[in-house]
Structure 1
Amino acid sequence: MTGKVIRIERTAPRGGIAEEPELGTKGYCLGDPKFGATKHHAENAVFVKSLDEAAELVSEGFSLRMTGKGKRASLVSPKGLRIIRA
């Protein structure tokens, strides 16, 4: 796919509230699929600075930490995400 990533959204947001990637001080947090059931552990987190980098890793099977208003952040698998490009 081509074009700059303008948004990554959860296809089925919890409670119908829009969710977006959580941007922390280290950047966007992703879970590496090679860690299987422990990919959500802090020591296995992968951080990137841009949505373009996050989208690239999601396309390689990484899960992305998503959050919405009043929602606790959670790791969402690639099949539950939609990448919107300009």
Structure 2
Amino acid sequence: MRGRVIRIERISSRAGVIEEPAVTSKGYQLADAAQGKNKHHAEFAVYAKSLDEVAVLLDKGFSLWMGAKGKRASLIAPRSLRIVRSEDCISA
């Protein structure tokens, strides 16, 4: 692994907003693609306690709920996300 995950960004955010991973009392909320058309339903939600855990699940094909202040959260596919690691931020 190449450093600790410090941020997960949506590659193409909605205009005028900065979206961040949705966090609940259970942790970051994700959806398993194996649930097919039902993956967005709350009863099939999967939770991760850290961004590092989220990154592992994204690599396995899970989608991540992303939201912004005043905007409803959206389910975002892993191909539409950028994982930023601490190593990526170090300048030489």
Larger radius of gyration: 2
Count of equivalent residues = 86
Pair 1:22 & 2:22 matched: yes
| Matched residue SS, 2:52 | helix
The percentage of counterpart residues that share the same residue type is 58
TM-score relative to the length of structure 1: 0.95
What's 1:46 paired with?
Answer: 46
Alpha-carbon distance between aligned partners in 1 of 2:62 and 2:16, rounded to the nearest angstrom: 24
CA drift of 1:36 comes to 1.1
Q: SS of 1:72's equivalent? A: strand
Task: Provide the aligned C-alpha RMSD in A.
Answer: 0.9
Instruction: Give the TM-score taking structure 2 as reference length.
Output: 0.89
Segments of 4+ in structure 1 off by > 6 A?
none
Structure 1, gaps ≥5 residues long: none
- Structure 1 residue 33 corresponds to structure 2 residue 25: no
